[in-house]
Chain A
Amino acid sequence: MILALLRRDLAQFFPFTGSGAALPTVFFVAVAMLFPFAVGPDVNLLARTGGGVVWIAALLAAILPLEKLVARDIALGFFDQLKLRGATEEAMMAVRLLAHWLSFGPPLLLATFPAAALLKIEGESFSILLLGLLAGTPGLAAIGLMIAALTASLRAGAALSGLLLIPLALPILIFGAGALARGDPVSLGFVGAISLGLVAIAPFAAGAAIRAAREG
């Protein structure tokens, strides 16, 4: 059942198969492309600030899929039908978390290659950036899932979820972008730890949220 569910969720959210699911990645590259136009082609400046821009672009890209992440399937009765078949909300949300991350994490990491080239991020900085995003995106996905589940029954949910994600993502951003600025891979450990903690609680928080949405 878990595998069938994961396949369905992936088909729904994955770039090129799901409707408009490639958008976050395209958006990410577009931001990285615009930045040099905005601040000018000074190579040193770009190399110094580029990492932060990539992180912010990643954060914004993580917000884009939130609207469809949970609310749509609640309205469909999809989770209800799964529940009747004995699945727990926690399991549904764990699968959804994995599918959500797979649909924007790896594409984002791939898109980091052209983005880094545009922003003149090279050598060690680039590997720190890539590792940081690898460690940080699961955390972003977990925050996104919890927020999407919590705001699913609200009318202004979509707009609100973006607003809520930004402050919650601050620790990941500070350590992730900080590691890059100081050339210090140790902070990446913090990013990884925060991500792990978030990934561990997200299915339970999101599961409780969709149960509560049902009672509404």
Chain B
Amino acid sequence: MQAPSPFLAAENLACRRGERLLFRKFAFRLESGAACHVMGANGAGKTTLLRALAGLTTPYAGSVTRGGALGLLDERTGLDPDLPLGKALDFWERIDGCTRPEGTITILGLAPLLEVPVRFLSTGQKKRAALAALLNRAVPIWLLDEPLSGLDAETIAKVTALIRLHVGGGGIALIASHQPLDVPGMTSFAIEDYAPAPEEDYA
């Protein structure tokens, strides 16, 4: 990991989707080696939170600070659907300057799929491909949006192990998921705890 210890923090964060306020007064700080599980029903704002933390959207209020590079894994993989998987991953490897991608491809069992166009991959296979792209970047902060959905039991165990390894190596992982996750020392919170009361006038 990078020399200064990575961190990810949010202060007084509030986000909206359309006109609706999803959550407010949300604050946390994750230091090197921390894992955090974000829970919440569909539409509670998990994806919105992760995108705001990644700096892709501007939060309605509050601020996000971080030290260290950040990777986001969500349902939109950024892999060209028309290209064979190998070529699609190649592009991101070039961008990231990754020289040894074979390891991640082997770990995630992608070797037999390298010739298959990305659009023919199943949900779980796509997720594994996106994970490979994330691993190749070697960034200290991981934001994972539903990393386990669509995966079989064996792959779930693998992904959990990867998260443990990442956190154990001093990385940070923030995971939004419906499924339970077995990562030692992981904190968790429910996004609904920060939802505004129906009559509350937040400004």
Hey, which bits of chain A sit against chain B, CB under 8 A? 1, 4-5, 8, 12, 19, 75-78, 80-86, 214-215
Q: Given that A77-B76, A77-B77 are known contacts, is A84 also in contact with B54, CB under 8 Å in the complex?
A: yes
Within 8 A of A (CB), among B50-109: 51, 54-58, 69-72, 74-82, 91-92, 94-96
A8 CA to B96 CA in the complex, in Å?
Answer: 14
Q: Given that A5-B95, A8-B91, A84-B71 are known contacts, is A76 also in contact with B78, CB under 8 Å in the complex?
A: yes
User: B96 near A85 (CB under 8 angstroms)?
Assistant: yes
Contacts of A8 in B (CB 8 A): 80, 91
- Binding site of A, secondary structure by majority: helix, strand, loop or mixed? helix
User: A80 near B72 (CB under 8 angstroms)?
Assistant: yes
Contacts of A215 in B (CB 8 A): 57-58
Which of A81, A214, A215 is most buried by chain B, counting CB atoms within 10 A of its CB?
A: A81
Hey, which bits of chain B sit against chain A, CB under 8 A? 51, 54-58, 69-72, 74-82, 91-92, 94-96, 133, 137
Can you offer 30 A-B residue contacts whose CB atoms are under 8 A? A1-B95, A4-B91, A4-B95, A5-B95, A8-B91, A19-B82, A76-B76, A76-B77, A76-B78, A76-B80, A76-B81, A77-B76, A77-B77, A78-B78, A80-B54, A80-B72, A80-B76, A81-B72, A81-B78, A82-B95, A83-B55, A84-B56, A84-B71, A84-B72, A85-B95, A85-B96, A85-B137, A214-B51, A214-B56, A214-B57
Q: Given that A4-B95, A5-B95, A8-B91 are known contacts, is A83 also in contact with B56, CB under 8 Å in the complex?
A: yes
In order of increasing CB-CB distance, the 10 nearest A-B pairs are A77-B76, A81-B78, A4-B94, A77-B78, A78-B78, A8-B91, A4-B95, A215-B57, A1-B95, A80-B56
A84 CA to B133 CA in the complex, in Å?
Answer: 13
Shortest distance from the beta carbon of B70 to any chain A beta carbon, whole Å: 6
Name the residue on B nearest A78 (C-beta). B78
Contacts of A12 in B (CB 8 A): 80
Shortest distance from the beta carbon of A187 to any chain B beta carbon, whole Å: 41
A84 CA to B69 CA in the complex, in Å?
Answer: 8
Name the residue on B nearest A80 (C-beta). B56
Contacts of B51 in A (CB 8 A): 214
